[in-house]
Structure 1
Amino acid sequence: MSGSEPDAYGRLAYRGLIAWPERLQREAPLLQRVLAGAPSPRVLDLGCGSGEHTRLLTALGFEVTGVDASASQLEAAREADPRGRYVQASLAELGEALQASQGAAICVGNTLPHLCEEAEVRAFFSGLAGRLAPGAPLLLQLLNYDRILARGERTFPVVLRPGEGEGGDTVFLRLMTHHGNGRLTFTPAHLRYRPGTATPLELVAAHDVALRGWRRAEIEALLRAAGFTVSETLGTMTGEAWSPTSSDLVILARRG
């Protein structure tokens, strides 16, 4: 993740809310389709977190560099794969952090909204364009903020992960506050659920994260201004067409 507080997620067991094997299995076909046209096997995983997609793409034969602003997330990524290549940097600093020409890039997991200012997104796309080879594909995935902002949505479904023994179950709660102009405060919370005890529901950690809900038209305009060509827009990582009510916004672009 990237933003003004790069380790906001480091204080949460946030990655645990995702069923990773199932997610990666769903997303692998689209990733393979997009990266099949890359001019070289060198791929950037931008906002890599603890490295799940980095390891997936490495297993598929790509030379992957994971990039994230969070030191604790990169520490977890290196523990899972000591031989992996990881760089600590925010998205807006790519032009300074990366030197080699890359064959492709992915930026998934709702990473882009952590850049709250248009100048930051412009710097990200410009720096990325300067590090990608001509014709290199880019896959961007974020939540569909066209829908979220239009409806004023403030919550996501509660996620409960069964625990073992006296530790209890893990509960993830995610709330949003809208401030206008696409600006949001996102509050992820990690709770422990132990029914029948003196404290059946205990807050383990919570944190506020500033986000910007970028709409489709805004992102596509900024990509084109940086020299990218938008080739396809999808509503999920399994390839469904985008609509204003889609769950996600997935943009496939190519560096000119």
Structure 2
Amino acid sequence: MEPGRDRYGRLSYRSLIAWPERLKREEPLLRRVLEGGPSRRVLDLGCGSGEHARFLAALGFEATGVDASPSQVEAAREADPEGRYVLGSLTALADLVEPGFGGALCVGNTLPHLTEEDDLRRCFEGLASRLLPGGVFLLQVLNYDRILDRGERTFPVMVRPGEEGAETVFLRLMTPHADGRVTFTPAHLRWRPGAEPPLELVSAEEVQLRGWRRAEIETLLTAAGFAVRETLGAMTGEPWNPTSADLVVVAARS
């Protein structure tokens, strides 16, 4: 993220995602992986507005959220004043949090915001320094092997209840590039059928991401001292294949 620029300041992810349904789907894998760590102290990397951190706290974990977006950290703190949320880059984990965590998760397509190989290396090395021996790491990103190979341009449109009789439309466009980078354009629209105009743009941003492939992620994890245990195709636990929706990696610090 550019210094001084919060590209997600106008996007309310708390209202754009069906969080209860998502967390219910993800709970079995979250429990299985994180309960296998040496401590119930966990890091939520790219915590956003704190939904995963609060969910994990309700399951008995001691969660610390880290995010580079001031607006998202502020939203997390407002929703959970007793929680712990740290503002900063995932490339500086060794400076942001103390060591001694038993596990970590990084989900929701956070990792592609680290666009350079050196940034991702520093993230993984910093995380390894904060985890106890045997500490577990659950990582989820979109399956960029599929996206880049197929030149995909968009995700399914999301429609959610809005305010004052309107509906909220979340549109996500992508422009893949030959060097593995992806121009991501999330847009929030207000839909009022019968009104004039029926569709209004509330906010839109353009964000430069890196479409990390499976081999790149696993190579850098191994170099940072992690052992890859599983590679899945979704947070519901299906095996990964080149056309899977997601790339989910379960690793442990050596």
TM-superposed deviation, 1:164: 4.8
2:177 corresponds, among 158, 179, 184, to: 179
Deviations 1:91-139 (A, max 9, x none): 1111111123211100001110110000000000011111111100000
2:208 corresponds, among 210, 216, 227, to: 210
TM-superposed deviation, 1:16: 2.4
Partner of 2:225: 227
Aligned pairs for 1:1-256 (under 5 A) are: 3-4=1-2, 7-166=6-165, 168-256=166-254
Deviations 1:163-222 (A, max 9, x none): 3535x1111111011222110110000011112222211111000011000000000000
TM-superposed deviation, 1:153: 0.2
**Which letter maps to 1:46?**
L
Whole-Å separation in 2 of the counterparts to 1:243 and 1:30: 18
Number of aligned residue pairs: 253
**Which letter maps to 1:132?**
L
Whole-Å separation in 2 of the counterparts to 1:146 and 1:48: 24
**SS state at 1:26 partner:** helix
**Which letter maps to 2:15?**
G
Which segments of 5 or more consecutive residues in structure 1 lack a partner in the other structure?
none
TM-score, reference length from structure 1:
0.96
Which segments of 5 or more consecutive residues in structure 2 lack a partner in the other structure?
none
* Cα root mean square deviation, aligned: 1.2
Which one is further off, 142-151 or 9-18? 9-18
Identity, % of aligned positions = 69
Whole-Å separation in 1 of the counterparts to 2:11 and 2:190: 12
TM-score, reference length from structure 2:
0.97
**Which letter maps to 1:148?**
I
**SS state at 2:55 partner:** helix
Which one is further off, 45-54 or 191-200? 191-200
Whole-Å separation in 2 of the counterparts to 1:190 and 1:165: 16
Confirm or deny: 8 A CA contact 1:64 1:85 kept in the other structure.
yes
Whole-Å separation in 1 of the counterparts to 2:14 and 2:80: 16
